[in-house]
Amino acid sequence: MDDGVQGKIEKAAAVLKELRRVVVAFSGGIDSTVLAVLAQRTVGADGVLAVTADSPSIARHDLDDAVALAGQLGLRHRVIATREVEQPGYRANTARRCYLCKQELFAELEGLARA
């Protein structure tokens, strides 16, 4: 493996180890999957919670795929309802809609992390 990539993996693992508990916004895409698996290997399965958002803006097959992948990987996984579609700024479909969606998701994740 490329030394630069290996160094980044080691750096990420060191940060995760310090945290000891990790909540990952898990879409089932490559980025969140790599992070969730690295966290699971670093802090252990009990220290990682993968969370997938469920809202009208998420395609059902994408949600189903994320749930299935989390199961295949042995991740502790939870699906939570998010309500970004209730925000006027999101419904207006402005350039900030992605920010508003992530703001909603990460507010929910913060609550889970503090629990």
Interval 89-114 mean pLDDT: 84
Does 97 score more than 80 pLDDT? no
Tell me the two tokens of residue 74. 């042995």
Tell me the two tokens of residue 35. 């992070």
Number of domains in the chain: 1
Range of the domain at 96: 3-114
Does 1 score more than 70 pLDDT? no
Tell me the CATH number at 89.
3.40.50.620
CA atoms of 50 and 26, how far apart (whole Å):
5
CA atoms of 40 and 26, how far apart (whole Å):
13
Write out pLDDT tens, residues 36-89: 999 999 999 999 999 999 998 889 999 999 999 999 999 999 999 998 877 787
Tell me the two tokens of residue 16. 């995760």
Write out pLDDT tens, residues 3-26: 798 999 999 999 999 998 999 999
